[in-house]
Amino acid sequence: MRLPEEPERPFTINLIPMIDVIFGILAFFVLASLYLTRWESFPVNLPSATTGNQTSEEVILLTIGADGRMALNGQGVTLGEIQAKVATLGGERVVLIQGDELVPHGFVVRVMDELRQVPGVRLAIAVQPENGNQ
């Protein structure tokens, strides 16, 4: 007995599973990007001010925590190392000091004094805008 030949089905590509995979990957990257924030250093509570301005210049970020820990562009630094590390970054740059509002004023002044001795460095202090004004 001879079986009838089945007609060969034409070759097709099913796009629906591929689209599902692409959308799954896209959803992963969208959700992952929501958690990507600019995390330069440890968190600080900035003091608020109504006259705070934003700068578009490239800055060197110096973070001073409430406990006195410091980080320069995310790398831990001590008071004695600040001058050398800022000088190696070179050029006329702005050093933005992100000091916690609980840091003693005298300590911030000592840090600023160290930074003023580096040629070409300008200083700025980061603040939290008050009442939504910038």
Q: Is residue 42 part of a domain?
A: no
**Where do the H-state alpha helices sit in the chain?**
15-34, 82-89, 105-116
Q: Is residue 55 part of a domain?
A: yes
Cα dihedral 29/32/38/39 (nearest 10): -140
* Residue 72: CB atoms within 10 Å: 20
What token pair was written down for 68?
Answer: 């006195």
* pLDDT score of 15 more than 80: yes
pLDDT band at 22; cut points 50, 70, 90: very high
* pLDDT score of 97 more than 70: yes
Q: Is residue 26 part of a domain?
A: no
Q: Is residue 18 part of a domain?
A: no
Nearest by Cα to 55 from 85, 98, 84, 118: 98
pLDDT of residue 14: 86
Cβ density class 97-125: b for 16+ within 10 Å, e for less: bbbbeebeeeeeeebeeebeebeebeebe
Q: Is residue 19 part of a domain?
A: no
pTM of the complete model beyond 0.85: no
DSSP letter (8 states) at residue 60: E
Nearest by Cα to 92 from 134, 57, 62, 44: 57
**Structural domains counted in the chain:** 1
CATH number at residue 71: 3.30.420.270
- Domain extent for 119: 48-132
Q: Is residue 123 part of a domain?
A: yes
Give the angle 112-86-73 at the CA atoms, nearest 5°. Answer: 95
What's the pLDDT tens digit per position in 41-89?
A: 666 766 666 666 666 667 888 888 888 889 888 888 888 888 888 888 8
